[in-house]
Structure 1
Amino acid sequence: MINILMIEDDLELAEILTEYLEQFDIKVTTCDDPYIGLSTLNTSKFDLTILDLTLPGIDGLEVCKEIRKRHSIPIIISSARHDLSDKVNAFEFGADDYLPKPYNPQELLARIKSHLRRRSITEEETKSIKKDLVCDDFKHIITLEGVPLNLTVAEYDILSYLIKKEGGAISREELIYNCDSINEDSTNKSIDVIIGRIRAKLGENPKDPKYIHAIRGVGYKLEQ
């Protein structure tokens, strides 16, 4: 069964969509409070998120950003806000799709199937490529050749971010901004110290690293 989290404060719409999607073996969990929605997403496993933008307490765009920081699941925006700026910001914050209300539930179903099909293909391709370092956000562990690493929260946040951005050059400032456990007042030197600890736990020689490479004038990148 497919499990979907819907963060939507229009409970009548949520009920209609839930009943429709249940016909296709899709279970929908609805949260009308965005904070509860984020908490639910962190404690349970879902295949996809349907997210409204006009929510109580916090704008849906901020919710989208928070989801994408921690999860790689597809995000479909379901919103009555038709402003171009909202659509652009939604995609910049990590949304995979934007479905303007009102819409036919059949179209939502088609988009859900499309995103899950793409995700399944991507996961199969990833499995076919052997990786030494694997990050499991759901279990909150990173393994090196199948063995879990004993990481602090800050070490986990930085290493998981580098893994997800594999091959990309990441600045120290980007790590500070995107890793919740790192204080925004932290210095570049503090990032270097944490990177040093991570390298030690990976058994790396800092002069000839296998995974984490320093990029002069920029920061770091991870290759494997």
Structure 2
Amino acid sequence: MTTILLVDDDIHLLELTAIQLSSEGFSVLKAKNGIEALDLLRHSRCDLAVVDVMMPFMDGYELTSEIRKQHGLPVILLTAKSQFEDKEKGFLAGTDDYVAKPFEPKELIYRIKAVLRRYQHSPAEEAVKIGQIIVDKRNYEVHIQDKTILLPLKEFELLYFLASHPKQVFSREQLIEHIWGVDYEGDERTVDVHIKRLRERFSDLTNDFSIKTVRGIGYSLEAAST
């Protein structure tokens, strides 16, 4: 059975959402804040987390980052805010999707199922090697010789996608569609931010690949010549 972790300091909403998810056949774990959530994850198996943004002790962005870093789970953020800057902050923290409050239960359930489908990748989608680097989708890790690097989810998926299609040029619109989904409401600056972060992370670690800007079009990843 698929287990969903719900994290929200609104007890009424927490209980109501848990009932709705249970009626859809999900097993549900409940936490009132980020500290409780991380403690639950240390002792229980979970498939996806639904996290409220505004909470005491640890906000949803920080909790999302910790869940991605420690457990590699997909995360959906619940928020009363819908501005692009807030969504961008969430995606940079590693969230997979956003649901704005108030929301229809069917919308949340649809988005949970959609995110879970994205994580059920085929056996062919395992690992891509670029020089001495292995981008491993089985555990969402990047290996450079004896180092293991954990990236925020969208950075990893962007790197994996580009590395899977070396020298192929993709427009920002194409990358948004492949990584964030066709219903993503943000603008193309998100791609530029993620590319910049990937370049900064790997510039001092390896020369095995570079992400090229193709003026007027988009980006491509090129392996270093041997």
Instruction: Give the TM-score normalised by the residue count of structure 1.
Output: 0.59
Q: Which residue of 1 aligns with 2:53?
A: 53
Give the C-alpha shift of residue 30 in structure 1.
0.9
Classify 1:28/1:71 alpha carbon distance in 2 versus 1 (closer, same or farther; 3 Å).
same
Question: In the TM superposition, what are the counterparts of 1:1-224 in structure 2 within 5 Å?
Answer: 1-120=1-120, 123-124=121-122, 127-129=123-125, 131=127, 155-157=147-149, 167=163, 174=201, 213=208
In structure 2, what is the Cα distance between the partners aligned to 1:129 and 1:80? 36
- AA aligned opposite 2:4: I
In structure 1, what is the Cα distance between the partners aligned to 2:91 and 2:35? 21
Classify 1:174/1:81 alpha carbon distance in 2 versus 1 (closer, same or farther; 3 Å).
same
Note if contact 2:11-2:32 (Cα within 8 Å) is conserved in structure 1: yes
In structure 1, what is the Cα distance between the partners aligned to 2:37 and 2:223? 32
- AA aligned opposite 1:75: V
Deviations 1:84-118 (A, max 9, x none): 32222112222111111111111111111121122
Classify 1:158/1:5 alpha carbon distance in 2 versus 1 (closer, same or farther; 3 Å).
closer
In structure 1, what is the Cα distance between the partners aligned to 2:125 and 2:5? 30
Note if contact 2:33-2:58 (Cα within 8 Å) is conserved in structure 1: no
Unaligned residue ranges in structure 1 (runs of 5+): 143-150, 176-187, 193-211, 216-220
- AA aligned opposite 1:174: R
Give 1 or 2 for the bigger CA radius of gyration: 1
Question: CA RMSD of the aligned region, Å?
Answer: 4.0
Note if contact 2:6-2:18 (Cα within 8 Å) is conserved in structure 1: no
Unaligned residue ranges in structure 2 (runs of 5+): 129-133, 167-194, 211-221
Give the C-alpha shift of residue 79 in structure 1.
1.7
> How many correspondences in the alignment?
172
In structure 2, what is the Cα distance between the partners aligned to 1:77 and 1:131? 28
In structure 2, what is the Cα distance between the partners aligned to 1:63 and 1:93? 9
